[in-house]
Amino acid sequence: METRYDPPERFAAALDQAHEAVIAEIGTDDFGPRDYLPGLQALLQSMDYDPHFHEQGRRLAWGMVVGVLRGRAQAIAAMKANPGFDARAIESPVVIIGVPRTGTTALHRLMAVDPRFQGLQTWLLDSPRPRPPVEDWASDPDFQRTVAQLKAQHTASPDHKAAHFRAAEEVHECCMVLRHGFVSNLWSCGWSAPTYDAWWQSTSEAAAYDYYYRCVQLIGANEPDKRWLLKNPGHVENLDLLFAVYPDAKVIQTHRDPARAVPSLVSLLMLMHPLMEEGRAGERGAIMLRREVAKWSSAVRKCDAVRARHPGKVLDVVHGDFHRQPMQVLDRIYRFIGMDIPEATRDAFARRIAEKPELAHGVHRYRIEDYGMTADEAREPFGDYIQRYDLVETKA
Residues 6+ apart with CB under 8 A from 107: 96, 231, 252, 254, 317, 322, 329
Closest by Cα among 181, 175, 176 to 37: 181
* 94: β partners: 229, 250
Give backbone dihedrals phi and psi of 53, rounded to 5 degrees, phi first.
Answer: -65, 140
**3-state DSSP assignment of residue 28:** coil
pLDDT surpassing 70 at residue 92: yes
Is 202 within a domain? yes
> CA-to-CA distance for 259 and 375, rounded, in angstroms?
5
- Cβ atoms within 10 Å, residue 266: 26
> CA-to-CA distance for 290 and 262, rounded, in angstroms?
9
CATH number at residue 223: 3.40.50.300
Q: What's the confidence (pLDDT) of residue 37?
A: 98
pLDDT surpassing 60 at residue 16: yes
Q: What's the confidence (pLDDT) of residue 161?
A: 46
pLDDT surpassing 60 at residue 109: yes
Is 52 within a domain? yes
Give backbone dihedrals phi and psi of 251, rounded to 5 degrees, phi first.
Answer: -105, 135
> CA-to-CA distance for 130 and 142, rounded, in angstroms?
13
Q: What's the confidence (pLDDT) of residue 261?
A: 96
Average pLDDT (15-40) is 97
> CA-to-CA distance for 382 and 296, rounded, in angstroms?
8
Q: Which residue has the higher pLDDT, 47 or 150?
A: 47
For 292-349, the pLDDT digits (tens) are 999 999 999 999 999 999 999 999 999 999 999 999 999 999 999 999 999 999 999 9
Q: What's the confidence (pLDDT) of residue 164?
A: 47
Tell me which residue range forms the domain holding 178: 11-383
Q: Is the sign of the CA dihedral 199, 203, 207, 210 positive or negative? A: positive
48-52, 112-116, 153-157: which range is least confident on average? 153-157
Q: What's the confidence (pLDDT) of residue 290?
A: 96
Q: What's the confidence (pLDDT) of residue 163?
A: 44
Task: Answer for the pair 352, 113: CB distance below 8 angstroms, yes or no.
Answer: yes
Task: Answer for the pair 264, 101: CB distance below 8 angstroms, yes or no.
Answer: yes
> CA-to-CA distance for 107 and 330, rounded, in angstroms?
9
For 78-87, the pLDDT digits (tens) are 999 999 999 9
Which H or E element spans position 228?
strand 227-231
Q: What's the confidence (pLDDT) of residue 156?
A: 66
Task: Answer for the pair 268, 101: CB distance below 8 angstroms, yes or no.
Answer: yes
Q: 165: pLDDT confidence band, cut at 50, 70 and 90?
A: low
Q: What's the confidence (pLDDT) of residue 289?
A: 96
Percentage of the chain exceeding pLDDT 70: 93
> CA-to-CA distance for 332 and 179, rounded, in angstroms?
32
> CA-to-CA distance for 106 and 343, rounded, in angstroms?
21
Task: Answer for the pair 33, 181: CB distance below 8 angstroms, yes or no.
Answer: no
Closest by Cα among 88, 116, 62, 351 to 227: 116
Task: Answer for the pair 173, 231: CB distance below 8 angstroms, yes or no.
Answer: yes
Task: Answer for the pair 210, 60: CB distance below 8 angstroms, yes or no.
Answer: no
Residues 6+ apart with CB under 8 A from 31: 19, 22, 69, 72, 73, 76
* Number of domains composing the chain: 1
> CA-to-CA distance for 285 and 367, rounded, in angstroms?
12
> CA-to-CA distance for 233 and 269, rounded, in angstroms?
15
- Cβ atoms within 10 Å, residue 294: 12
Closest by Cα among 16, 19, 21 to 5: 21
Average pLDDT (108-130) is 95
Q: Report pTM.
A: 0.93
